[in-house]
Amino acid sequence: MVRALLLSALSALAGVLPAGAFAGETPREALNRLWPDYVAAFTTQEGRVVDNGNGAITHSEGQGYALLLAAETDDRPVFDRLFAFTRSTLMIREDGLAAWVYDPELGHVRDRNNATDGDLLIAYALIEGGERWDDAALRFAARRMTRALLDGTVSVAGERQILLPGASGFDAEARTDGPVVNLSYYVFPAFRALSELDPQARFDVLERDALALMEESRFGPRGLPSDWVALGGEAPQPAEGFDPIFGYDAIRIPLYLAWAGAGQRQHLAPFVAEWSETPPSIVWVADGSVRSAFAENGYRAVAALVACVMNGTPPDPALFQRLDPLYYPATLQLLSLLALDERQEACP
């Protein structure tokens, strides 16, 4: 999802999270402590996740993140509220995918196109919820959404499988520089879960091709990917019509790599190099100039996760003392905690 409207926003990875890295609190305990604050700040009684940094809209991405976090914190009442709103309000497409944005000022969906990362996150959350609560209906819904994703968003560019950001508007027929991808939509932890649910889906091929594409999408002097990447030329390039920045979207690329333990160390190396010198920032990839630093702790939490995975650097507990006031960085805080918990062996 484009974040221009927001205010301000390893083959196997191995080792053990240092004892006391969270001042006596484990990442899972910190996640459970902050989750009620997240629910109070960003969800409504009807089950809508409010992006308060983006005009109070609700999008499939936010529903997916919150559903996943509800499953991980064993919060079935909130999960059910979230899924009820998602199913009744966003899942109105005939192909089984979710419309990407609900506008509270309109009182209905503003754009029926899907956002593929949102669909992946919803399916992932349904799998996790189905396993946690032994709910066959949730597993069935996840399987249906997985099939819809494969049918509607997986395409081919050259000899590679790619994940289109939406079912409409991003292929070679729709764009002169197309197809266009958003590498932050490759939710690697979801790929693993969906592959276990449906081994014939071959998300392993999609992951393999994504990792190769990420190595080719390092632009400018800093070697960072842009939020949106065009594949219509001889080599990947920042996509036309989007600011050529490493920004609010692309910061999730290292989050998902580190969380899933996907790829090799070189896939995370550009981010380690970047953040060893400067805090996480919006970067104009062509010339490497820093446009602005990310102010909130959620962005620094992603950098801390990557540093822990790559160098064994313990995360700063101050990053998780309290929730950021905006939806997106607050979500990154909780996702980083979840990743630290699930990848404890990744932080020597």
List the catalytic residues. Answer: 61, 117
**Pair 285, 217: CB distance under 8 Å:** no
**Pair 289, 24: CB distance under 8 Å:** no
Cα dihedral 175, 271, 333, 141 sign? positive
* Phi, psi of 251, rounded to the nearest 5 degrees: -65, -20
CA atoms within 13 A on the CB side of 302: 28
Tokens of 73: 């914190």
Closest alpha carbon to 12 in 258, 223, 178: 258
Cα–Cα distance measured from residue 269 to residue 223, given in angstroms and rounded to the nearest whole number: 10
In order of 3, 80, 266, the CA distances from 282 in angstroms are 11, 36, 21
Task: Name residue 304's amino acid.
Answer: A
Burial of 243 (0-12, 13-18, 19+ CB in 10 A): middle
Cα–Cα distance measured from residue 209 to residue 338, given in angstroms and rounded to the nearest whole number: 26
